[in-house]
Amino acid sequence: MKVNKEILGALIRAARKRTGISQMKLAESIGVTYQQIQKYESGKSEVSVTRLYEIAEALGIPVTSLLAEEIHQLKASEPQEIYGLLNNDEKKLVDLIRKINNKRLTRIFVKMLEEIIN
């Protein structure tokens, strides 16, 4: 699954503007230059998963909200690639996790699952 850099960048920019945070403040929060934020928002640079999580944390939003549009497009265009190998319970779990709008609860849930697995 490949995320579209331009769409993700536009979603980051929209979320940043909604929260009223400048590119400079966001950059300082995650330890990069404001020019790097510009590159992320314009789609000129790819955003790693770790960096995406840091951006969401700095903006005070769930990381899933930054991927919501991208996920929606992928679900519509490539359902077999995303869901093809999952059984019904796994599909339901993925859908439920995507609906969690509280980043703290999401982290707790993920940590709980990691503890169960390990």
Which candidate, 99, 101, 13, places its Cα nearest to that of 62? 101
The better pLDDT of the pair 94, 40 is held by 40
Which candidate, 28, 53, 73, 29, places its Cα nearest to that of 12? 53
DSSP label at residue 43: T
- Rg of the chain over CA atoms, in angstroms? 15
Give the C-alpha separation, 103 to 41, whole Å: 22
Rounded to the nearest integer, the mean pLDDT of the chain is 82
Domains in the chain, ordered, with CATH?
A: 5-117 (1.10.260.40)
pLDDT at 59: 93
Six-digit token pair at 3?
A: 């995320």
pTM for the whole structure: 0.58
Give the model confidence (pLDDT) of 32-79 as tens digits. Answer: 999 999 999 999 999 998 999 999 999 998 888 777 655 555 555 444
In this predicted structure, the answer to whether residue 84 has a pLDDT above a threshold of 90 is no
pLDDT at 37: 96
pLDDT at 62: 86
